[in-house]
């Protein structure tokens, strides 16, 4: 990219004066960032053109990854690393009196996702480019990402995240590839030359304009693309008549209505209007993406080569959000390309594949038939036909068929069940960790598995170890490379070569020093952002993820309350100092989660302001969790809290990011923790609590009684009482909804059931931590075994076993 730092400086300064029309010294830091980013982006764009040509000459099968969410994180440092130019640019900037990390912080971190699912999609883009898979991401260009979280008086408040206000240097608007998308209207059937055809009239047209973001693979050879679609009015929509009457808002009403489609990520869908907008978003992405795939295919292979489509194209749907890919691809093949139903269906089902990411029933998407019919009349007709044929194909000679049909049909109870549509329309359905896939096969999607078990497979999640270790933890990365060479960066399995260093005390000391350095870095961020002073020598016990009842932040909170109560009774209690760190957002309309955030803050106030206990324990909540903050936190953790109710967390990916950074997991046998346990070994992880089977059995038998547990454990009863007895201030500050969920409504997520074992296991971990040599060895064992959790491995499995590429 640059032959040396002098070459870089020369090119960079030239670029600055050309684009900013002022000397470097007069530019703001943001401007300096912008020029640098734009410069790297242009080089990436050029390499993208080369990659495309190479892939198309080789006639490589193309993968399209459809996802409503992509959490890319900041790109500048990442791309410099991937191009092998980080050191050069850093040194060149230093000569110019600038710091790469400071410039990099000028970049907005686009919050185009909610959490694990969105970040997984971004990790896959990184790994697909690294593995030279011809892949395109299909997403939406929301003007506002997930809300910014602010804490006011101990409560979460939400602020919009207008991440695009200063422009985004990594995108290229591609107006010439825009597509027209149709909503609403009527469908008329006509019969001509022995064939029925469908004419869609009186629809509203929305323009889908792609913004392309280059995706640079490590090594800089492959540059793929993420297409983010934006909704725009088809022509400058302004009602001049209304405008001249002075009705300004009426004049731009339609324009606003259209732009609302990609205005914000995941609007509150508890209201009918919110629901409709969400469905519009889903169809918008799907229709724009499918149309561009079809056009590209016709351009490349001609308009009649449809039979070969599944050999040349793979379409992957990330959860059910893009499930309309199934009927939309059918629609184009039937109505536009004039294929027969059976031929079209064969192509669709051989092309599309689907990943499920949750078994939580609230999160399984369903749409009212009436809404679907009105918004997407032709698409709905096709869904109806898919459902009719599915029912017709159902084998009614086997016992239990009624029950299987009722759970697997697409249309049921006035609703379109999107997961069922996805499963029927796909050739592959996968879960995201071994235990999750087992639950899908044996429980949630049992009826489908009974029909066609071949379709179901597991693809345990992975994360980009280049972003979450190489980039986020440079000191550790250097230590690893000094020991085993740099091969681990492209082959994470080589981290296993670290295992012999478990007996090397100099190496272990170095590992401990690096962790301490990372803890200092986080401690100064905490001091700057919240004023709280924490001791980097204390044990950092960290839980960062979305706030949700099933993830059980409560269990962690109760543990801290228990420590507080014990320290008040016995201030001399022997306890190594602990810092408990939380971070994560509660959904805007999720009251229980918001109360949990308030409880963490109430507890933090209580603990941190009490000199009797605050020498030993501190509680910190870091505002506005996201990819960038995660990159600062993971490297600084000693303990990684992964304590969901067994069976509920599909996989988790934070657990893997911690593991790559040498944190030791304290967790339940849930999601990918099960595989972490298997790889790290029983000695290098702290497992506690009910198993998924035990949780399910309580469910069948109905004999779990949370109050019995409080009666048996007076310490726990004290804690649940403290939620409401004035411990946290007056009655207005009490946490009744949390108390009631546990005591009156019988503790759906088995917090109380697992409390005792959790506490015991926590103390065991604390003891292990005090034996520094032992702990550092455990930490090293985790790093050495983390290689399996690179998303490089995951995408290769998708490529070979689902997409049939490579």
Q: Which residues are catalytic?
A: 357, 545-546, 551, 653, 657
Q: Which of 542, 550, 545, 543 is nearest to 751 (CA)?
A: 550
Closer of 120 and 323 to ligand 26V (Cβ): 120
Dihedral of CA atoms 243, 248, 249, 252 in degrees, nearest 10, equals 40
Contact 572, 534 (CB under 8 A): no
Q: Which stretch binds ligand 26V (CB under 6 A): 4-12, 185-193, 353-361, 496-504?
A: 353-361
To ligand 26V, the closest distance from the beta carbon of 320 in angstroms equals 9
Q: How many binding residues for ligand 26V (CB under 6 A)?
A: 18
805: left (phi over 0), alpha (psi -120 to 50) or beta: beta
To ligand 26V, the closest distance from the beta carbon of 651 in angstroms equals 4
Q: Round to whole Å and give the CA distance between 455 and 433.
A: 16
Contact 579, 622 (CB under 8 A): no
Closer of 68 and 291 to ligand 26V (Cβ): 68
Classify burial at 152, counting beta carbons within 10 Å of its beta carbon; exposed 0-12, middle 13-18, buried 19 or more.
exposed
To ligand 26V, the closest distance from the beta carbon of 583 in angstroms equals 17
How distant is the alpha carbon of residue 97 from its chain centre? 37
The CA–CA distances, whole Å, from 49 to 43, 53, 81, 210, 553 equal 10, 6, 21, 16, 47
Site mask for ligand 26V (CB under 6 A), range 636-665, x = bound: -------------xxxxx------------
Q: Which of residues 596-615 bind ligand 26V (CB under 6 A)?
A: none
Residue 402, token pair as written in the block:
């009624």
To ligand 26V, the closest distance from the beta carbon of 553 in angstroms equals 14
The CA–CA distances, whole Å, from 383 to 420, 422, 557 equal 11, 11, 46
Closer of 467 and 562 to ligand 26V (Cβ): 467
Closer of 181 and 663 to ligand 26V (Cβ): 663
Binds ligand 26V by CB under 6 A, chosen from 27, 39, 71, 120: 120
DSSP string, 684-724: GSEE-S--HHHHHHHHHHT---HHHHHHH-HHHHHHHHHTT
To ligand 26V, the closest distance from the beta carbon of 654 in angstroms equals 8
To ligand 26V, the closest distance from the beta carbon of 434 in angstroms equals 13
Site mask for ligand 26V (CB under 6 A), range 663-702, x = bound: --------x-------------------------------
Q: Round to whole Å and give the CA distance between 686 and 680.
A: 11
The CA–CA distances, whole Å, from 580 to 42, 258, 769 equal 43, 45, 15
Closer of 358 and 458 to ligand 26V (Cβ): 358
Site mask for ligand 26V (CB under 6 A), range 260-299, x = bound: ----------------------------------------
Closer of 119 and 331 to ligand 26V (Cβ): 119
Alpha-helical segments (H) within 74-143: 76-82, 86-95, 100-104, 116-130
Q: Would you tell me the crossing angle of helices 553-569 and 751-770 to the nearest 10 degrees?
A: 60
Classify burial at 28, counting beta carbons within 10 Å of its beta carbon; exposed 0-12, middle 13-18, buried 19 or more.
exposed
To ligand 26V, the closest distance from the beta carbon of 623 in angstroms equals 21
Q: Which residue is nearest to ligand 26V (CB)?
A: 116
Q: Round to whole Å and give the CA distance between 135 and 708.
A: 54
Q: 3-class SS at 254?
A: helix
To ligand 26V, the closest distance from the beta carbon of 673 in angstroms equals 10
Give Rg (Cα) of the chain: 27
The reply to whether 362 sits near ligand 26V by the rule CB under 6 A is: yes
Q: Which stretch binds ligand 26V (CB under 6 A): 144-152, 285-293, 352-360, 498-506?
A: 352-360
Closer of 61 and 321 to ligand 26V (Cβ): 321
Residues in contact with 406: Cβ distance below 8 Å, sequence separation at least 6, in sequence order: 412
To ligand 26V, the closest distance from the beta carbon of 806 in angstroms equals 23
Q: Round to whole Å and give the CA distance between 143 and 228.
A: 11
- Cross-strand partners of 216: 223
How distant is the alpha carbon of residue 427 from its chain centre? 24
Q: Which stretch binds ligand 26V (CB under 6 A): 78-86, 116-124, 305-313, 520-528?
A: 116-124
Q: 3-class SS at 8?
A: helix
Binds ligand 26V by CB under 6 A, chosen from 305, 308, 363, 398: 363
To ligand 26V, the closest distance from the beta carbon of 459 in angstroms equals 9
Closer of 461 and 477 to ligand 26V (Cβ): 461
Q: Round to whole Å and give the CA distance between 257 and 806.
A: 44
Q: Which of residues 440-479 bind ligand 26V (CB under 6 A)?
A: 461
The single-letter DSSP state of residue 24 is G
Closer of 43 and 316 to ligand 26V (Cβ): 316
Site mask for ligand 26V (CB under 6 A), range 86-115, x = bound: -----------------------------x
Binds ligand 26V by CB under 6 A, chosen from 117, 563, 710, 786: 117
HSE, side-chain direction, 13 A CA sphere, residue 351: 31
Closer of 118 and 169 to ligand 26V (Cβ): 118
To ligand 26V, the closest distance from the beta carbon of 653 in angstroms equals 5
Site mask for ligand 26V (CB under 6 A), range 395-434, x = bound: -------------------------------------x--
Binds ligand 26V by CB under 6 A, chosen from 78, 286, 320, 358: 358
Closer of 422 and 653 to ligand 26V (Cβ): 653
To ligand 26V, the closest distance from the beta carbon of 115 in angstroms equals 6
Q: Which stretch binds ligand 26V (CB under 6 A): 23-31, 245-253, 359-367, 783-791?
A: 359-367
Instruction: Go through the chain and tell me how many residues it has.
Output: 806
Closer of 111 and 115 to ligand 26V (Cβ): 115
Closer of 18 and 362 to ligand 26V (Cβ): 362
The H or E element spanning position 742 is: helix 736-743
Maximum distance among all alpha carbons in the chain?
A: 92
Helices H, strands E: what count in the chain? 35, 23
> What do you get for the CA distance between the two ends of the chain, in Å?
28
The reply to whether 629 sits near ligand 26V by the rule CB under 6 A is: no
Contact 410, 390 (CB under 8 A): yes
To ligand 26V, the closest distance from the beta carbon of 42 in angstroms equals 33
Site mask for ligand 26V (CB under 6 A), range 303-332, x = bound: ----------------x-------------
The CA–CA distances, whole Å, from 602 to 100, 148, 239, 297, 777 equal 38, 21, 53, 58, 36
The reply to whether 116 sits near ligand 26V by the rule CB under 6 A is: yes
Binding site for ligand 26V (CB under 6 A): 115-117, 120, 319, 357-358, 360, 362-363, 432, 461, 649-653, 671
């Amino acid at each position: 990219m640059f032959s040396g730092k002098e070459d870089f400086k020369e090119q960079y300064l030239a670029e600055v004066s050309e684009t900013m029309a002022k000397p470097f010294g007069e530019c703001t830091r943001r401007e300096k960032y912008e020029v640098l980013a734009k410069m790297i982006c242009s080089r990436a764009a050029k390499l993208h053109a080369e990659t495309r040509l190479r892939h198309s000459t080789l006639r490589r099968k193309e993968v399209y990854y459809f996802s409503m969410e992509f959490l890319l994180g900041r790109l500048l440092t990442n791309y410099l690393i991937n191009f092998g130019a980080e050191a050069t640019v850093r040194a060149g900037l230093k000569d110019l009196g600038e710091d790469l990390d400071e410039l990099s912080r000028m970049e907005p971190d686009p919050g185009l996702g909610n959490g694990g699912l969105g970040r997984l999609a971004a990790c896959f883009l990184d790994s697909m480019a690294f593995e030279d898979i011809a892949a395109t991401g299909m997403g939406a260009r929301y003007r506002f990402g997930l809300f910014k979280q602010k804490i006011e008086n101990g409560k979460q408040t939400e602020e919009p995240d207008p991440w695009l206000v200063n422009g985004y240097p990594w995108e290229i608007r591609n107006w010439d590839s825009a597509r027209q998308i149709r909503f609403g209207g009527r469908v008329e059937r006509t019969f001509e030359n022995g064939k029925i055809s469908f004419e869609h009239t009186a629809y509203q047209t929305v323009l889908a304009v792609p913004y392309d973001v280059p995706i640079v693979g490590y090594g800089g050879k492959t540059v793929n693309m993420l297409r983010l679609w934006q909704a725009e009015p088809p022509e400058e929509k302004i009602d001049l008549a209304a405008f001249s009457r002075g009705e300004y808002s009426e004049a731009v009403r339609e324009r606003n209505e259209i732009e609302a489609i990609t205005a914000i990520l995941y609007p509150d869908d508890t209201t009918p209007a919110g629901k409709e907008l969400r469905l519009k978003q889903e169809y918008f992405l799907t229709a724009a993406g499918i149309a561009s795939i079809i056009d590209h295919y016709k351009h490349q292979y001609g308009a009649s080569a449809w039979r070969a489509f599944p050999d040349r194209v793979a379409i992957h749907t990330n959860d059910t959000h893009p499930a309309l890919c199934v009927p939309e691809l059918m629609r184009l093949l039937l109505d536009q390309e004039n294929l027969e139903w059976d031929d079209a269906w064969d192509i669709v089902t051989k092309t599309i594949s689907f990943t499920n990411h949750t078994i939580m029933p609230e999160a399984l998407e369903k749409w009212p038939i009436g809404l679907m019919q009105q918004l997407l009349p032709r698409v709905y007709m096709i869904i109806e036909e898919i459902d009719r044929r599915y029912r017709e194909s159902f084998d009614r000679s086997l016992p239990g068929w009624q029950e299987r049909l009722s759970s697997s049909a697409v249309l049921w109870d006035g609703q379109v069940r999107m997961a069922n549509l996805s499963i029927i329309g796909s050739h592959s359905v996968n879960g995201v960790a071994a235990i999750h896939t087992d639950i899908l096969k044996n429980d949630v999607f049992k009826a489908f598995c009974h029909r066609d078990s071949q379709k179901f497979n597991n693809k345990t999640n992975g994360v980009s170890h280049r972003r979450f270790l190489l980039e986020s933890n440079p000191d550790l990365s250097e230590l690893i490379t000094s020991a085993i060479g740099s091969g681990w960066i492209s082959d994470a399995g080589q981290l296993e070569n670290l295992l012999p260093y478990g007996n090397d005390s100099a190496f272990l000391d170095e590992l401990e020093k690096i962790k301490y350095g990372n803890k200092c870095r986080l401690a100064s961020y905490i001091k700057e952002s919240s004023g709280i002073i924490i001791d980097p020598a204390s044990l950092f016990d960290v839980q960062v993820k979305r706030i949700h009842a099933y993830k059980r932040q409560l269990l962690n909170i109760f543990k801290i309350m228990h420590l507080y109560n014990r320290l008040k009774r016995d201030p001399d209690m022997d306890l190594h100092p602990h810092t408990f760190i939380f971070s994560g957002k509660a959904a805007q309309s999720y009251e229980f989660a918001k109360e949990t955030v308030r409880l963490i803050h109430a507890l933090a106030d209580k603990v941190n302001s009490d000199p009797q206990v605050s020498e030993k324990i501190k509680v910190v909540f870091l505002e506005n969790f996201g990819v960038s903050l995660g990159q600062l936190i993971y490297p600084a953790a000693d303990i990684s809290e992964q304590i969901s109710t067994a069976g509920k967390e599909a996989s988790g990916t934070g657990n893997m990011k911690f593991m790559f950074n040498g944190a030791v997991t304290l967790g339940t046998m849930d999601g990918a923790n099960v595989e972490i346990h298997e790889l790290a070994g029983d000695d290098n992880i702290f497992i506690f609590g009910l198993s998924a089977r035990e949780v399910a059995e309580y469910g069948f038998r109905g004999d779990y009684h949370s109050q019995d547990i409080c009666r048996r454990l007076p310490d726990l009863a004290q804690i649940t009482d403290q939620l409401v007895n004035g411990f946290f201030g007056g009655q207005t500050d009490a946490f009744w909804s949390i108390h009631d969920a546990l005591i009156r409504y019988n503790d759906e997520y088995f917090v109380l059931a697992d409390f005792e074992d959790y506490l015991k296991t926590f103390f065991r971990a604390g003891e292990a931590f005090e034996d520094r040599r032992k702990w550092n060895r455990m930490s090293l064992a985790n790093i050495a075994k983390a290689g399996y959790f690179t998303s490089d491995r995951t995408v290769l499995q998708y490529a070979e076993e689902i997409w049939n590429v490579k």
